[in-house]
């Protein structure tokens, strides 16, 4: 049984983590409260033929991609299982079980890449690991403990699915799922403390001397926003990968029944991904604001300096995500008998999303030759320059979110006919909410963004976000009461064109590439510091890579990761055909 064999790997590959962590912690306890070491270039070990920075970079990136996937999948597996119990619909249970099987192999690869990352850090950056373990040694041991708990819960949750579901132990099985998700989320929170400490150190003085209170170091400036941002992003990312798996199976389906099953599976996973994507920009705003609050220098480097143009690449990828998500929903209108009546609105939604996408990735400062700058009259385009500022981009992203939500509302109505007397009034209220929200978002962005000082420019983004969230929540409430007793028609699952499935592939690839690029930016704004302003990085690799270098590296990593994911898809497929996945 290939699936079972691969599933057994995490505990084995965890052992080096535990022993290495214990060794480092024990060796450095005596000097845990000493200053951060001052390193010379010769203090960094070398291995012939291996670039230390590249080894650690690729291992860390692979580990984070797989960790994001395996953290997210159990969350919506649990939600689907609970939904199946409440609705008494076996489809939810069947899809949840298949989701979990797909992620099982990824757990072992997550542990393997984690072991490689730890190996690289210990071999190439031993002094950094000694310093960090002197502060976080207790949390490292706690991390190993929760990894054991998560692994045990995973095996019980997966292999006990059918036996516990067949009897009266269904809610006990759900309890195991809760334990699995709680331990996985705790692991992420613990690891986030180490990462954010390196960016915004707390609990240490200027020389790096630890004050002895582990909570001070854990609860540093970025720990809270990083936890929220990664939690939401991981759910969106995991949903996109599973949706890509469903698309893969849909395109290879042998009959209409199988095609209908994977169509529903892809829609469900994509719904989770897009649902998590909607609030993700706001979590990113909070994280960025906290970076500025801790260090204006890091904030300027992030958004207005060296990495500014990477955010143009980010804008293109986010635009691709939204366009692909909307396109998939538009293709899905054909599943419902009433979907055709909404096709006439698609071109208007597409125009608005394309227009806001163009604003979203318009740069403020152009890269020009001296002759071009002289002809233009400066580095800023006289008409397009204002669109490169954050007020314009805040307007664009909020409107993009609203119109993506509108595509979802039209999709829901494709197979529902309301029977309440106030249906027309309810629709008019929703239209009024959208209109008022767009007007308010534009007014806040234009007036406070271009005619007031910087404090109001930043502050205006809060009511813009609140407006968007209010409209989404209010319309969902109206939709619920309007269609609670609506006449519904059965959706024609499996009837969508094949091209819709390629949109799911695009979403998964865009998410992967986006996470890699933004992960690089988050780490690189520390520049020549291991621990920002406390422990300087003095190895030969203590330079900031160019945008081209970083983009190429992340692109290669994305290709490798997607190739491994394709192998996992294939492995799950043959495991299902042989019956191994159902034992």
Residues 144-166 have pLDDT tens digits of 999 999 999 999 999 888 888 77
* Residue 10: pLDDT over 60: no
Task: Give the structural domain span for 103.
Answer: 1-27+51-279+492-539+551-583
pLDDT higher for 88 or 561?
561
Sign of torsion over alpha carbons 447, 449, 454, 456: positive
State how far the Cα of 315 lies from the Cα of 397, in Å rounded to an integer.
10
Q: Could you tell me the pLDDT band of residue 11, with boundaries at 50, 70 and 90?
A: very low
Q: Specify the pLDDT at position 577.
A: 59
pTM of the predicted structure, to 2 decimals: 0.85
Q: Could you tell me the pLDDT band of residue 95, with boundaries at 50, 70 and 90?
A: confident
Closest CA to 463 of 447, 448, 441: 441
Closest CA to 440 of 388, 395, 406, 401: 395
State how far the Cα of 59 lies from the Cα of 513, in Å rounded to an integer.
15
- The pLDDT tens digits for 329-361 are 999 888 877 778 888 899 999 999 999 998 888
Give the chain's count of helices (H) and strands (E). 22, 4
Overall average pLDDT of the 110-133 stretch: 92
Domain annotation covers residue 400: no
Q: Count up the domains in the chain and report the number.
A: 1
Span of 41-45, 398-402, 450-454, 471-475 with lowest mean pLDDT: 450-454
Domain annotation covers residue 480: no
- Torsion angle, CA of 516/188/113/291, rounded to 10 degrees? 40
Domain annotation covers residue 464: no
Q: Specify the pLDDT at position 142.
A: 93
Domain annotation covers residue 435: no
Q: Where are the alpha helices (DSSP H) in 414-498?
A: 423-443, 449-450, 454-459, 461-483
Distance, C-alpha 52 to centroid of its chain = 27
Domain annotation covers residue 82: yes
Domain annotation covers residue 363: no
* Residue 121: pLDDT over 90: yes
Coil, helix or strand for 204? Answer: strand
| 8 Å CB contact between 56 and 121 | yes
State how far the Cα of 533 lies from the Cα of 206, in Å rounded to an integer.
7
- The pLDDT tens digits for 40-71 are 988 899 998 899 999 999 999 999 999 998 88
pLDDT higher for 559 or 542?
559
pLDDT higher for 543 or 354?
354
* Residue 32: pLDDT over 70: no
Q: Please, what is the Cα angle at 207 between 202 and 212, to 5 degrees?
A: 50
Coil, helix or strand for 576? Answer: helix
Q: Specify the pLDDT at position 3.
A: 34
| 8 Å CB contact between 91 and 160 | no
Q: Please, what is the Cα angle at 102 between 97 and 108, to 5 degrees?
A: 120
State how far the Cα of 404 lies from the Cα of 248, in Å rounded to an integer.
24
Closest CA to 323 of 283, 294, 352, 362: 352
Q: CB within 8 A of 339, min separation 6: which ones?
A: 332, 333, 411, 414, 415
State how far the Cα of 57 lies from the Cα of 53, in Å rounded to an integer.
6
Domain annotation covers residue 175: yes
Domain annotation covers residue 561: yes
Q: Which two tokens stand for residue 395?
A: 């307007």
Q: Specify the pLDDT at position 9.
A: 37
Q: Could you tell me the pLDDT band of residue 136, with boundaries at 50, 70 and 90?
A: very high
Token pair 């996945």 is found at 581
- The pLDDT tens digits for 204-226 are 999 989 988 999 999 999 999 99
């Amino acid at each position: 049984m290939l699936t079972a064999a691969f599933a057994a790997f995490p505990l084995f590959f965890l052992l080096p983590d535990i022993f290495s962590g214990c060794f480092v912690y024990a060796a450095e306890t005596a000097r845990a409260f000493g200053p951060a070491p001052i390193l010379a270039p010769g203090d960094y070990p070398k291995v012939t033929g291996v670039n230390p920075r590249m080894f650690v970079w690729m291992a860390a990136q692979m580990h984070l991609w797989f960790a994001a996937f395996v953290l997210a999948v159990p969350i919506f597996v649990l939600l689907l299982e609970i939904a199946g119990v409440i609705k008494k619909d076996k489809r939810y249970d069947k899809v949840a079980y298949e989701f979990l099987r797909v992620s099982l192999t990824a757990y072992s690869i997550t542990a393997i890449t984690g072991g490689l990352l730890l190996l690289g850090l210990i071999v190439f950056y031993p002094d950094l690991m000694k310093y960090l373990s002197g502060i976080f040694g207790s949390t490292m041991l706690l991390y190993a403990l929760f990894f054991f708990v998560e692994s045990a819960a995973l095996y019980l949750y997966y292999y006990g699915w059918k036996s516990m579901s067949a009897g009266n132990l269904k809610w006990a099985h759900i309890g195991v799922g809760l334990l699995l998700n709680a331990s996985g989320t705790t692991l992420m929170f613990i690891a986030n403390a180490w990462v954010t400490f390196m960016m915004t150190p707390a609990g240490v003085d200027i020389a790096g001397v630890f004050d002895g209170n582990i909570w001070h170091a854990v609860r540093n400036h970025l720990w809270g926003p990083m936890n929220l941002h990664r939690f939401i992003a991981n759910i969106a990312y995991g949903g996109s990968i599973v949706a890509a798996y469903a698309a893969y199976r849909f395109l290879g389906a042998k009959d209409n029944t199988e095609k209908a099953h994977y169509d529903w599976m892809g829609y469900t996973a994509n719904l989770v991904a897009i649902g998590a994507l909607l609030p993700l920009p706001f979590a990113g705003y909070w994280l960025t604001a906290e970076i500025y609050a801790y260090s204006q220098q890091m904030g300027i480097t992030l958004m207005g300096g060296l990495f500014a143009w990477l955010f143009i690449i980010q804008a293109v990828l986010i635009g691709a995500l939204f366009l692909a998500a909307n396109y998939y929903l538009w293709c899905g209108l054909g599943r419902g008998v009433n979907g055709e009546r909404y096709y006439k609105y698609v071109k208007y939604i597409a125009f608005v999303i394309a227009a806001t996408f163009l604003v979203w990735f318009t740069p403020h400062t152009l890269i020009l030759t001296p002759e071009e700058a002289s002809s233009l009259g400066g580095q800023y385009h006289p008409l397009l320059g204002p669109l490169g500022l954050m007020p314009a981009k805040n307007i664009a992203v909020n409107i993009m979110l609203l119109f993506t939500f509108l595509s979802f509302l039209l999709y829901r109505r494709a197979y529902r006919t309301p029977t309440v007397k106030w249906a027309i009034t309810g629709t008019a209220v929703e239209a009024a909410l959208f209109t008022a929200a767009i007007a308010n978002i534009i007014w806040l962005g234009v007036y406070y963004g271009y005619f007031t000082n910087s404090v109001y420019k930043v502050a205006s983004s809060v009511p813009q976000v609140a407006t968007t969230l209010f409209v989404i929540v209010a319309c969902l409430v109206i939709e619920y009461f309007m269609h609670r007793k609506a006449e519904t028609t059965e959706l024609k699952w499996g009837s969508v064109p094949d091209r819709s499935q390629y949109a799911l592939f695009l979403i998964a690839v865009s998410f992967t590439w986006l996470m890699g690029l933004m992960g690089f930016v988050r780490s690189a704004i520390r520049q020549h510091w291991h621990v920002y302003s406390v422990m300087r990085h003095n190895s030969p690799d203590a330079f900031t890579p160019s945008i081209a270098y970083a983009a190429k590296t992340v692109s290669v990593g994305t290709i490798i990761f997607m190739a491994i994911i394709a192998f996992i898809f294939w492995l799950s497929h043959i495991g299902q055909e042989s019956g191994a996945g159902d034992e």
